Amino acid sequence: MTPEDLQDLLEGVCRGEITPEAAAERLKDGPLRRDDMGFATLDHHRHLRQGLGEVVFGEGKTVEEVVEIAVRLSTSGVPVLLTRLDPEKTTALEGRFPGARVNRRARTLLVNPPEEKGPEGRPEHAGAPFVAVVSGGTSDLPVAEEAVEACVAMGVGVHRIYDVGVAGLHRVLEKLSRLREAAAVVVVAGMEGALPSVVGGLVSSPVFAVPTSVGYGASFQGLAPLLAMLNSCAPGVTVSNIDNGLSAGIAAARVVKALERARGDHSSPSEVS
């Protein structure tokens, strides 16, 4: 059951077109049901609560478990995002969901994908709030693309600004006008992790920083940029865990969703009164 389905059901009850008993019967198989698979207990209600359904973390699960979880979560038609997939799991999921959105660099697959929005996209999206996803280097793109896929799954417009690390400061300055238009910014960087501080000092929107494990030995698999970002002197910078583009992308997308609600845009898929 999608948020739109639930709202239509409740409005039908208010108009007297559906009896409360019939609505209760339909809800028995809706998002409130308990779905215990033995190896997983699924949360079908999360999409209504948070605007994105339960994200499936692919590591540590068998191919069969990942596919079965995706099948169960996707039956209502809501987007289902699967992350940290190896090639074998991706291939199996593609076979089961031929219309899925696959991002091999991000190691993600999105079942029931919504239309991707972008600030330069279709005319109806012009002027809509969006998330800017920024990367320090090309090596940071797997994490940056995971953040992108989280935004796409939530139906939020996203704009990529890649390979603008602080070693060439002019590169990020050239993108400043676009950065300042974004409702929220995700900044992904490894090595010294200085880019979020630079961006945080240039924009007024919230910045969600993501340290990556990219770098030489003294970066300690991302610990050095993590500490650098946590100690940022630029106010308004919040830091996610190492390589956790997913969490930063969802947080940034929620900023956009809150802005849409404040503007009275009721087209948001997470909008349920």
pLDDT above 70 as % of the chain:
82
| Averaged pLDDT, 231-243 | 95
pLDDT for position 77: 83
What would the two tokens of residue 155 be? Answer: 């139906």
Backbone φ and ψ for 179, nearest 5 degrees, come out as -60, -40
pLDDT above 50 for 273 = no
In sequence order, what are the beta bridge partners of 80? 111
pLDDT for position 20: 86
Instruction: Give the list of residues 6+ apart from residue 163 with CB closer than 8 angstroms, or none.
Output: 135, 136, 137, 138, 171
Q: How far apart are CA 27 and CA 262, in angstroms?
A: 29
Q: How far apart are CA 261 and CA 139, in angstroms?
A: 36
Q: How far apart are CA 169 and CA 228, in angstroms?
A: 18
Spatial contact of 93 and 104, defined as CB atoms under 8 Å apart: no
Mean pLDDT score across all residues of the chain: 87
pLDDT for position 6: 73
pLDDT above 50 for 132 = yes
Q: How far apart are CA 87 and CA 21, in angstroms?
A: 47
Collapsed DSSP state (helix, strand, coil) of residue 56: strand
